[in-house]
Structure 1
Amino acid sequence: MSHRILTGRVVIATHNAGKLVEMRELLAPFGVEAVSAGELSLPEPEETGTMFSENAAIKALAAAEASGLPAFADDSGLCVDALDGAPGLFSARWAGASKDFSGAMARILSELDRRGATNRRAHFVSALVLAWPDGHTELFEGRVFGDLVEPRGTAGFGYDPMFRPDGFDRTFGEISSEEKHGVDWQSGQALSHRARAFVTLAEACLRRP
């Protein structure tokens, strides 16, 4: 399968400041100029998909059509085994309009206690979609598995403080940005779900200057 190569300028289809920082840092080595949907005052489309990939495509295509530029969108979430995959697609909605992820994390722990669940396994999913104004799209996905713990640390955003990835004694809230989504380009290894998805995207659609 042939992939379309991204060059020049791209819209990052997010109004989430944390995602924006991560995506800009991931794109930086490839000489791609990134502008956010928020900076362009683009509206946020309604996310009506039933999968992460569908919602990412909705956001990327909407931004590409509105801006006339290629657009790059992520849809991601936390899936908790003992909660039947919740919050999943609704990870952001669990935080409410005020984006209170402290409350969302407390809700998860409360739900686990209410169910008497001892299983604390969970994983993050990231679906990345590149879309062009002519409707062409490229999809890439990444996952990272780990355990839920009492929230620790102030790094990252969202549910990061309660997620301890496999092989670590620290949560994403205690891991630096560089360590969390830095990429070893020689081995193709990365830690976070978004960085893992980005590695496959970069191999297919990006070229170093």
Structure 2
Amino acid sequence: MRVRLMCADDLASAERASALTFLDAERSTRRVSEPEVEPRSAVASKQWIDRTRFSLSVDPGGCWVAVEEGTGADGVVGFAMSQNRGGLWYLATYGVLPGHQAQGIGKRLMDAVLAHADGRPGIFSSSVHAGATRRYRLAGFSLHPQMRMAGTVDRSTLPAVDGLREGRAGDFAWMARLDRQLRGAGHGPDHGYMLGAMRLAVSRDMTKPG
């Protein structure tokens, strides 16, 4: 097994590994009351590849894969995508195919991305998969609880929200300042990528930026 920096040729294989890894994890942690877990859609797969290609272009040193020897780019069995933004490191996604877990591959991937962090404080959102949370604790991270809720929202009970407008590239400068104030570092080039992939809404009242 070889752990190496990711390249563009790995994108399709890494996406397949990601889809299978998280499908297995979500099925194993699914509550009986929750809907059946569905495989990743073709649209979501393309979004994963596009987002990872962007990460590769911005900070390639944070993107790593584990590949079975002799299989080339088609043999990705593990992946860890991280990025440095100023003084902050974040782990975007991380996993090892179910059939290759508990073999030390996850540790090697985690060691690689932590070396890239170069001592920066880090953030990420973990699944509840026991293997993942164990690996994060062994790496020295403190885990904080999150809440997951399922159900149908009664939209008639939601208060009206006003004071917002569509965001644009001209907002990036103050958004970066707010990033630094709230989390210690800006999103850097991510704002531009996200503006093209998602909707940006901002406060019209700049005394209440957000």
Q: Which has the higher contact order (CA 8 A, sep 6+)?
A: 1
Question: Comparing both structures, which one devotes a greater share of its residues to strand?
Answer: 1
For normalisation by structure 1, the TM-score amounts to 0.31
Which structure's CA Rg is the greater one? 2
Question: Comparing both structures, which one devotes a greater share of its residues to helix?
Answer: 2
